[in-house]
Amino acid sequence: MLEKMKFETPNLTNENKAKIAALFPGVVADGKVNFDLLRSMLGEDVFADEAYEFTWVGKRAAIAEAGKPIRKTLRPSPEESKDWDTTENLYIEGDNLEVLKLLQESYLGKVKIIYIDPPYNTGNDFVYRDNYTKAREEYEEDAGIYSEMGDRLFKNSESNGRFHSDWCSMIYPRLVLARNLLREDGVIFISIDDNELATLIKICDEVFGASNFVNQIAWVNNLTGRQISGFGAVKTYEYILVYAKNSASLSGFTVPITTAKELMPDTYKGFNKDIRNDEYGEFAVGDTLYNHNRIFNEETRPNLVFSIFYNPQNGEIIPGDIGENKKGYVELLPHKNGDGTHKYHAWRWSRNKIINESHDLIVLPTSNGGYEIYTKIRSFANTALKDLITNISNGDTEFKNLFDGKKYFDYPKSTDLLKVLLGSIPESNDSLILDFFSGSSTTAHGVLRLNAEDKGKRKFIMIQLPEETGIKSEANKAGLKNICEIGKERIRRAGDKIKDEAGLTGQGLDIGFRVLKLDDTNMNDVYYAAGDYTQNMISMLESNIKEDRTDMDLLFGCLLDWGLPLSLPHTHEKIEGFTVHTYNEGDLIACFEERISENVVREIAKRQPLRVVFRDSSFTSSPEKINVVEIFKLLAPNTTVRVI
């Protein structure tokens, strides 16, 4: 019998139990984990009755929420998209918690960079409410506004007894799901202010691991000071927390020197390189060769404490023993150690490295008549990103310039900031970038700017709840009824502007995006989980697809269920009058027509796709379904065939 599609997101809790069972088979029975037995197997020393921990009211429910499966889908909206057929970018409308769950299969371990600007919990922010079990009326007094999807937002004022707890419960499961999507060498940037900085660090330490904390960047974004500052020194900056999926897989964060000096002159003030030439080409004079840390000395690094001899006539550099006499050479002793115990600093290079790579060293005279030895830097276009970002204000002016001077969005981030952050990750110019609090789509705008400047192929996924704009707002008056309308229009305008400015060099620039919208499952409410089906049920539910769903809705539901990326090319054609969809040249072929002919089935099978899906009602009887299975066994034995 043909297997049914399940159309349900992964149950991460069950997957975690399966991982435990794989390691300790006897610990899990009847779906329950026997912690007493697990304790015995691991030993008492592994467990502790008391330990450092961070908790809040509702933490257990927040953790559990990340693992709960949902039956939702993403419905494509080509008419609201730009360059649907060719773009690799996505714009997804809906509650980001549910969207992140839907993306778990398709984008597991595929995202290189995440940037988010979540609600700062200032007492005025609208925070996602993730308790779906209570009736809407129960929240009538404090809810404030509702999304198009139902009860999702509430105004989190400081009078709320769970002011901090609600914010923690909101952000925690989203970060858990986001971590799953990161590549092993992936990184997440999170903008935040003082209200929840300490809280967010503790949560990120749990979710990503304290060892994967990378930095806490200070962004000086308002030198005049915040008008809302009530007491003490005026606040001029906010923060960007940086965590890695696996810090051991990260390379150093860098920024082009030209960008650093242009955008952040206060941070990189006086930043100049001494550029010279030798037989190998241009180089910049780097740091001195000795190790500045006093703990590296003749006791801790005896093999790195020796003399270096320099011939002023021919520039030759060779290592030797301290006090050795070499005719024609000047002895460069190791630097004196000032720790009061040891005599010398160690060098940063070994003897063999100096012998083999002396062409990357240079000796220059000092002001006191001596000599100092430096490294040569062959690649000097970039420098290390500093954790103080200055001279980049918020993106108000930039945003208003796109919208004819109109202020449709409060406190948009600057694309210059996003350019610095996204561009600082090495080898990421063809990577996937995610923002699941995308707001006005600054991240998408920043990606387009970066791609135009360095000919990169970065792709973005923007996720945003369609929160309504105020009735009296400028945005609403202009026909932009929710934040998603603002974000999509910004990408359209920014993309066209960037491509026009790029001219011929911008011809291959992807400025499009596919719009997808979160909605209830494509299946009727009587839908059962795959394991609950009986033969009688199957016959009754053959037409269990909602009447308003199109072929495209069904196709993208199948992509999610099978874990395929949502931005790949697809085509459709008529075969004997039946519409057949081909996704990414055969990753999936689908036909959702009623009562399709055997010839169509055979033609699809001959193409040997990896996956095939039909509508259950495409076949009128069990023998016909058995025949389909046999056809694929004969013509395409490696194809997986399912029905909806």
**Tally: H helices and E strands in the chain:** 17, 29
Could you tell me if residue 524 is left (phi over 0), alpha (psi between -120 and 50 degrees) or otherwise beta? Answer: beta
Lowest mean pLDDT of 117-126, 176-185, 471-480, name the range: 117-126
The pLDDT of residue 529: 54
CA distances from 256 to 215, 452, 520 (A): 19, 15, 46
The pLDDT of residue 14: 86
Rounded to 5 degrees, φ, ψ at 155 are: -80, 115
Question: In terms of residue numbers, what domain contains 639?
Answer: 523-643
Q: Answer yes or no: is pLDDT of 228 > 70.
A: no
My answer on whether 124 and 256 are in the same domain is yes
Lowest mean pLDDT of 69-73, 141-145, 512-516, 536-540, name the range: 141-145
Q: How far apart are the first and last CA of the chain?
A: 13
- The count of other CB atoms within 10 Å of the CB of residue 628 is 23
Average pLDDT over residues 542-547: 80
Average pLDDT over residues 345-369: 97
- Long-range residue pairs from 522-530, CB within 8 A, at least 24 positions apart, any chain: 522/7, 522/73, 522/546, 522/549, 522/553, 522/554, 522/557, 522/644, 523/7, 523/71, 523/644, 527/7, 527/71, 529/6, 529/8, 530/3, 530/4, 530/6
The pLDDT of residue 142: 39
My answer on whether 106 and 152 are in the same domain is yes
Q: Answer yes or no: is pLDDT of 559 > 90.
A: yes
Lowest mean pLDDT of 17-21, 222-226, 511-515, name the range: 222-226
Rounded to 5 degrees, φ, ψ at 55 are: -145, 170
List % helix, strand, coil for the chain (3-state, nearest 5). Answer: 30, 25, 45
Percent of the chain topping pLDDT 70: 89
The pLDDT of residue 148: 45
Contact 371, 332 (CB under 8 A): yes
Nearest Cα to Cα of residue 121 among 218, 207, 197? 197
My answer on whether 229 and 94 are in the same domain is yes
Contact 515, 488 (CB under 8 A): yes
CA distances from 46 to 40, 43, 195, 402, 576 (A): 10, 6, 35, 57, 65
pLDDT tier for residue 233 given thresholds of 50, 70 and 90? confident
Q: Answer yes or no: is pLDDT of 571 > 80.
A: yes
CA dist 396 and 413 (Å) reads 8
CA dist 644 and 524 (Å) reads 12
Handedness of CA 520, 524, 529, 530 (dihedral sign): negative
> CB-based contacts of 527: which residues, under 8 Å, 6+ apart?
7, 71, 521, 541, 544
Please say which residue of 64, 94, 111 terminates a domain: 64
- CATH code for the domain in which residue 490 is found: 3.40.50.150
Average pLDDT over residues 540-564: 89
The pLDDT of residue 147: 45
Percent of the chain topping pLDDT 90: 73
Nearest Cα to Cα of residue 450 among 422, 487, 417? 422
The pLDDT of residue 1: 66
CA distances from 6 to 11, 97, 144, 537 (A): 12, 20, 36, 15
Nearest Cα to Cα of residue 187 among 451, 419, 431, 365? 431
Q: What is the pLDDT of residues 61-76, one digit of tens each?
A: 999 999 999 999 999 9
In three-state secondary structure terms, 237 is strand
Q: What DSSP state is assigned to residue 345?
A: B
Lowest mean pLDDT of 20-24, 563-567, 635-639, name the range: 20-24
**Residue that is written with structure tokens 């000032």 in the block:** 338
**Residue that is written with structure tokens 């600093």 in the block:** 345
My answer on whether 150 and 43 are in the same domain is no
Please say which residue of 517, 548, 566 terminates a domain: 517
pLDDT tier for residue 135 given thresholds of 50, 70 and 90? very low
CA dist 115 and 157 (Å) reads 26
My answer on whether 493 and 598 are in the same domain is no
Please say which residue of 353, 379, 405 terminates a domain: 379
Average pLDDT over residues 165-170: 92
Number of domains in the chain: 4
In three-state secondary structure terms, 359 is helix
Considering only residues 642 and 233, tell me which one the structure prediction assigns the higher pLDDT: 642
Q: Answer yes or no: is pLDDT of 50 > 80.
A: no
My answer on whether 142 and 254 are in the same domain is yes
Half-sphere exposure of 57 (CA within 13 A, CB side): 7
Q: What DSSP state is assigned to residue 208?
A: I
My answer on whether 254 and 288 are in the same domain is no
My answer on whether 372 and 390 are in the same domain is no
CA dist 75 and 63 (Å) reads 28
My answer on whether 204 and 340 are in the same domain is no
CA dist 236 and 226 (Å) reads 7
The pLDDT of residue 2: 82
The strands making up 213-220's β-sheet, listed across from edge to edge, are 72-76, 514-520, 90-93, 459-464, 432-435, 111-116, 182-192, 237-244, 213-220, 388-389
Averaged pLDDT of the chain: 89
CA dist 243 and 214 (Å) reads 5
My answer on whether 396 and 413 are in the same domain is yes
Exposed, middle or buried: residue 168 (CB in 10 Å: 0-12, 13-18, 19+)?
Answer: buried
Average pLDDT over residues 317-335: 96
CA torsion 528→531→532→537, rounded to 10°? 80
DSSP-assigned states of every residue in 495-531: HHHHHHHHGGGGTT----BEEEEEEE-SB-TT---GG
CA dist 473 and 470 (Å) reads 5
Average pLDDT over residues 12-27: 85
Average pLDDT over residues 201-207: 97
Average pLDDT over residues 163-177: 93
Average pLDDT over residues 496-504: 91
pLDDT tier for residue 144 given thresholds of 50, 70 and 90? very low
Lowest mean pLDDT of 31-45, 218-232, 411-425, 586-600, name the range: 218-232
CA dist 370 and 336 (Å) reads 15
Average pLDDT over residues 332-352: 96
Quote the tokens at residue 261: 């000096």
My answer on whether 19 and 137 are in the same domain is no
Q: Answer yes or no: is pLDDT of 270 > 90.
A: no
Average pLDDT over residues 351-360: 97
Chain CA centroid to CA 173, Å: 15
Q: Answer yes or no: is pLDDT of 138 > 80.
A: no
My answer on whether 375 and 406 are in the same domain is no
The pLDDT of residue 465: 95
Q: Answer yes or no: is pLDDT of 47 > 90.
A: no
Half-sphere exposure of 474 (CA within 13 A, CB side): 9
